[in-house]
Structures are given as structure tokens and as C-alpha cells.
């Protein structure tokens, strides 16, 4: 919980002027972001507060700067193996599958999912929804254009997830990068192929203040490395929200160092890296 | 309970294992380890450190509570903070000093949270990460120790720290171990 009166005023201003609520964000990482913003714009906390009050565009920029947007293609291959071998097979007989990436950043996690589903022959039955608070990252996600240099280190994980089977070391598939990406090393571009661009719906959404952004029940919700920026109170609220938004047999996928520890843990059954919705 | 935070990079692994294998079992203090690792070496580190350690090694989950007698290792690819309510908080913010986890991030947060109950120890390493954090611990009233540069495989990190902070002790590994064994 924040104690510094100036920080509290700053947070209250963002809420009163634009409806964002950072009051239950993780203290230390939020303060570090705020300090960085003040340094970058050469403002002290009072200057920062008065500028967000008088300049709405600046306020929106500050909100974007507060968010941490690091993301990767096929981040943590063991999670993708769990999705591939533990979750998706259970959904094999469903006619329609709803998947929500909450806090999708620039979309690399979303395209990882699209690629995996395509390889498993399930893509045509899936509705893929992706949301984030930050509209800049959503625009990047929609365009599907990245810098090759920033992506190249993740291609090893692409191979690990798509070509190797941890349960059967003899299995080895070949999936080329060209199938999914247009890569130009000279121009340093890495583009998602057009036929995979329109498979997901991207939408601005605030997990803290808004209800379910789409009128569906999800088979899978991925919310990875988003809740680490929230305190326990807010995390627990979201675990309940997600429970309400999940289909009775739905699964929640968190980041590799995130877990449900408070009271909402009774509402989920943990299977390895996956939380399955418990229905009483 | 004291809160001992150890930062290290290139050339620090042996010192860390020497420390962990020498402190007593049921150690009454909490230990935090922020060690740079090679990129893409994400697994196996806990196992390697656990082999000879007298205290359990654990990579904390976000919002886990700090307990004495455990050595908490900053997970690969995350910054590790300790919040005022004694809970861990992880973050994937951009690398600082080219490092994630960054020693400065963990040291600064330990300084703010534990103030005079923090002990910072900086070991061998090839960049300047940790210097600012060690100063923060000292400024907040904690105790700061630097491994003797003569003993460091790479002394960039320790000399950078000594340059900006009046450290309490410059010690060889054996003395660091004695210090930690006798810590009340
Ligand atoms: C570190 S990224 C995680 C990206 C991806 N899920 C992954 O694990 O690679 C965290 C994302 O959460 C978003 N975020 C932060 N607060 C949010 C909120 N209140 N509502 C929706 N998204 C939020 C940020 O904008 C950022 O893009």
C-alpha cells in the first residue's frame, strides 16, 4: 500500500482525471516507474502532478510509461508444452474455443498461440481475444511488425515448442520460420505473415476497472506477467474475476513465477503450471 | 532477524557456494541472492547451488513472504524486489546495467525495506551493477561488505562499489564466512 502523500496525490489525480486506478499496484516497481518518468521528463512529483492535470495527452503518455511491456515469442517453453499437451487436447472435441490474452502487450504471446493452434489444426475453431491497457502496444500487436534483432533470440523457443516433444524425445517435427514470418535481416524487420494477422481481436481494456471485455466464457485465459505489477488485494480480485469469466472446464495460465496463494486458491485446481477452474 | 543480500556476477559462483556450505543449518537470518547468469541458462542454477548448501535455496514466486533460514535466488529474467510488507515482488522491466535480475534493483529495495537490518555483500563481477545499490544500503543505515578485489576473478564490480561508498568491510571469502557465522 502506498504511503507517500505525494504519490497518493499522483495516483488520485490519474483516477479523478482519467479513471485509471494504480492504487493497488505493487509498491516498489510502481515507484521505480514513477521515478523513471520524472527523470525522463525532468519533473519533480509536483510538476508531474500539475502536468497530468493540465495536459490530457501527457497523462495518457504517463500511463503508458507506467506499464511494463516486455514480452517474448513462446516465452517459457515449458508453459507452451503444458498448453499443447495438457490443455488443448481436452478441448479437441469442442466446436468453438474462446481464448483471452489479458495484458497481451505487443502480441508476441498471441501470435505464439495462433501458431501453435495452427500447427495443431485447431485454429479455425478458435476465437482469440487480446487486451491491454496500453494502446501503443496494441497498435504494434495489430500490425504484427517487429524488429528482427529484438526477436531473433526467441526463435530457439519457437523450435523447442513446435519441433520437440518433451514426452517423446524421438519425435522431431520441422516447422520453418518462413511459414509464419517475413524476415528481412538487412532492414531488421520481422513481420507476421498476413494470413495470421487477422486471427485475433485486439481491444483496449483495463483489468482493474472494467468487467469482461467480451461477452463470452473463456476456455483459456492467459494472464502472464501482468499480476506481478499488482498487490495481493488486486491479484485476488482478478483471480475471482477470471473464475467468473471462465467456462466450467476452463484453464487459467499465469506467468512462471506467479501463483494463487490467497483465498481464491480454493476455486482452482492446480495441475502443474496450469490452474483449472473448480466447479462446486 | 537480519537480511543478508549477496550480489555477484562473473567469478562469484564459488564464493557463493562456499558461503552457503559454511553457514549453519537453521540459520536465523534471511538470505537474498542476486546473481547474474548467462543469457538463456535459465534452469539448473537452483540445483547447482543446492548441492552443497546448508540452507534451502528457492526462487521465490511473486508475493511469497520472506522467511528466515532460506536463501532466495532472484529468478532468471526477473528483477526481484522485497516490498514493505515482507513480500517478494517480481518485475520484467527493462534490464538495468544490462542485467535482469539487476543487483541494484534488489539492493535498493532491500535498503528501503530493511534499513539498518540489511547487510549487503558484493562479490566478484565484470560490470558496475550493485555499486549504487550497495550505497543505498549504507545510506539507509545497513552494513556493507565488499569482497577483497585481490581475491576477485574480475574486480570491476567491487572496485566500482568501493569508489562511491565508504564500505564497512573489505573481506576475503573466509572472513565473510566468519562474519556471517557469528552474526546475531
Ligand atoms: C510484462 S507485459 C506481459 C506480456 C505478456 N503477457 C507476456 O507475458 O509476455 C504486462 C502487460 O500488462 C499490461 N497492463 C498493466 N496494467 C494493466 C491493466 N490494468 N489492464 C490491462 N493491462 C494492463 C501492460 O500494459 C503490459 O503490456
pLDDT of residue A280: 74
Boundaries of domain holding B165: 3-181
List ligand 1's pocket residues with C-beta within 6 A. Answer: A 67-72, 75, 103-105, 109, 132-134, 137, 205-208, 224-226, 229, 255; B 92
pLDDT tens digits for range A77-88: 999 999 999 999
A·B CB contacts under 8 A: 61
**Is the same domain home to A150 and A202?**
yes
Give chain B's contact residues with A (Cβ, < 8 Å): 39-40, 59-64, 75, 78-79, 81-84, 87, 89-94, 105, 109, 112
Q: What is the spatial distance between Cα A123 and Cα A114, in angstroms, rounded to a whole number?
A: 7
| Grid coordinates belonging to B113 | 525495506
**Is the same domain home to A21 and A159?**
no
**Is the same domain home to A55 and A141?**
no
Q: What is the spatial distance between Cα A214 and Cα A129, in angstroms, rounded to a whole number?
A: 8
Of the candidates B39, B78, B109, the beta carbon closest to that of A28 is on: B109
pLDDT of residue A173: 86
**Is the same domain home to A62 and A176?**
no
**Is the same domain home to A19 and A143?**
no
**Is the same domain home to A106 and A53?**
no
Of the candidates A68, A256, A261, the beta carbon closest to that of B91 is on: A68
Of all residues in chain A, the one with the smallest CA distance to B92 is A70
Boundaries of domain holding A199: 77-277
**Is the same domain home to A133 and A204?**
yes
pLDDT tens digits for range A92-124: 899 999 999 999 999 999 999 999 999 999 999
pLDDT of residue B12: 93
* Atom of ligand 1 at shortest range from CA of A72: 9
Nearest residue to B75 (alpha-carbon basis) of B85, B64, B83, B86: B64
pLDDT tens digits for range A140-198: 999 999 999 999 999 999 999 999 888 888 888 899 999 999 999 999 999 999 999 99
**Is the same domain home to A149 and A181?**
yes
Out of B29, B36, B79, B124, the active site residue is B36
Cβ contact, residue pair A28, B81, below 8 Å: yes
**Is the same domain home to A81 and A37?**
no
One digit per residue, pLDDT tens: chain B, 184 residues? 999 999 999 999 999 999 999 999 999 999 999 999 866 555 688 999 999 999 999 999 999 999 999 999 999 999 999 998 999 999 999 999 999 999 999 999 999 999 999 999 999 999 999 999 999 999 999 999 999 999 999 999 999 999 999 999 999 999 999 999 999 8
Q: Give the count of domains, chain B.
A: 1
**Is the same domain home to A99 and A225?**
yes
**Is the same domain home to A47 and A169?**
no
Strand order in the sheet with A274-277: A200-204, A126-132, A97-102, A218-223, A246-254, A274-277, A268-271
Q: Give the count of domains, chain A.
A: 2
pLDDT, averaged across chain A: 96
Structural domain includes residue A128: yes
Verify cis geometry, omega within 30 degrees of 0, for the bond prior to A42.
Answer: no
pLDDT of residue B45: 86
Structural domain includes residue A159: yes
Asked if the model's pLDDT at residue A202 lies above 60, the reply is yes
pLDDT of residue B37: 82
Structural domain includes residue A72: no
Amino acid at each position: 500500500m502506498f504511503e507517500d502523500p505525494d504519490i497518493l496525490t499522483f495516483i488520485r489525480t490519474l483516477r479523478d482525471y482519467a479513471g485509471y486506478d494504480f492504487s493497488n499496484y505493487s509498491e516498489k516497481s510502481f515507484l521505480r516507474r514513477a521515478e523513471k518518468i520524472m527523470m525522463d521528463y525532468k519533473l519533480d512529483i509536483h510538476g508531474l502532478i500539475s502536468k497530468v492535470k493540465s495536459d490530457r495527452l501527457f497523462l495518457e503518455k504517463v500511463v503508458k510509461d507506467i506499464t511494463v511491456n516486455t514480452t517474448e515469442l513462446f516465452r517459457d517453453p515449458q508453459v507452451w508444452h503444458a498448453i499443447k499437451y495438457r490443455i488443448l487436447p481436452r478441448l479437441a472435441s469442442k466446436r468453438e474455443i474462446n481464448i483471452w490474452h489479458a495484458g497481451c502487450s505487443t502480441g508476441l504471446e498471441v501470435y505464439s498461440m495462433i501458431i501453435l493452434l495452427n500447427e495443431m489444426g485447431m485454429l479455425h475453431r478458435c476465437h482469440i481475444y487480446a487486451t491491454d491497457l496500453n494502446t501503443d502496444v496494441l497498435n504494434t500487436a495489430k500490425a504484427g511488425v517487429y524488429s528482427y534483432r529484438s526477436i531473433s533470440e526467441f526463435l530457439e523457443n519457437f523450435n523447442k515448442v513446435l519441433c520437440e516433444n518433451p514426452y517423446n524425445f524421438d519425435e522431431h517435427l520441422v516447422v520453418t520460420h518462413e511459414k509464419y514470418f517475413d524476415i528481412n535481416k538487412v532492414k531488421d524487420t520481422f513481420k507476421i505473415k498476413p494470413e495470421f494477422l487477422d486471427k485475433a481481436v485486439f481491444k483496449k481494456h483495463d483489468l482493474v476497472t472494467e468487467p469482461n471485455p467480451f461477452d463470452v466464457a473463456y476456455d483459456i485465459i492467459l494472464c502472464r506477467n501482468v499480476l506481478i505489477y499488482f498487490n495481493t488485494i488486486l491479484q485476488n480480485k482478478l483471480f475471482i474475476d477470471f473464475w467468473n469469466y471462465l467456462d466450467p472446464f476452463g484453464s487459467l495460465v499465469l506467468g512462471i513465477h506467479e501463483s494463487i496463494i490467497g483465498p481464491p486458491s480454493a476455486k482452482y485446481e492446480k495441475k502443474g503450471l496450469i490452474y483449472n477452474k473448480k466447479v462446486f | 532477524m537480519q537480511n543478508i543480500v549477496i550480489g555477484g556476477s562473473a567469478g562469484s559462483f564459488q564464493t557463493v557456494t562456499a558461503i552457503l556450505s559454511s553457514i549453519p543449518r537453521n540459520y536465523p537470518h534471511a538470505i537474498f541472492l542476486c546473481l547474474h547468469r548467462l543469457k538463456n541458462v535459465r534452469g539448473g542454477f537452483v540445483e547447482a547451488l543446492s548441492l552443497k548448501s546448508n540452507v534451502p535455496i528457492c526462487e521465490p514466486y511473486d508475493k511469497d513472504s520472506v522467511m528466515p533460514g532460506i536463501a532466495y535466488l532472484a529468478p532468471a529474467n526477473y528483477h526481484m524486489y522485497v516490498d514493505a510488507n515482507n513480500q517478494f515482488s517480481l518485475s520484467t522491466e527493462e534490464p538495468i546495467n544490462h542485467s535482469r535480475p539487476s543487483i541494484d534493483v534488489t539492493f535498493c529495495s532491500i535498503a528501503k525495506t530493511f534499513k539498518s537490518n540489511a547487510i549487503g555483500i558484493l562479490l566478484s563481477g565484470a560490470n558496475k551493477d550493485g555499486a549504487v545499490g550497495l550505497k543505498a544500503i549504507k545510506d539507509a543505515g545497513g552494513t556493507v561488505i565488499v569482497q577483497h578485489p585481490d581475491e576477485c576473478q574480475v574486480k570491476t564490480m567491487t572496485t566500482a562499489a568501493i569508489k562511491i561508498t565508504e564500505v564497512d568491510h573489505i573481506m576475503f571469502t573466509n572472513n565473510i564466512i566468519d562474519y556471517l557465522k557469528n552474526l546475531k
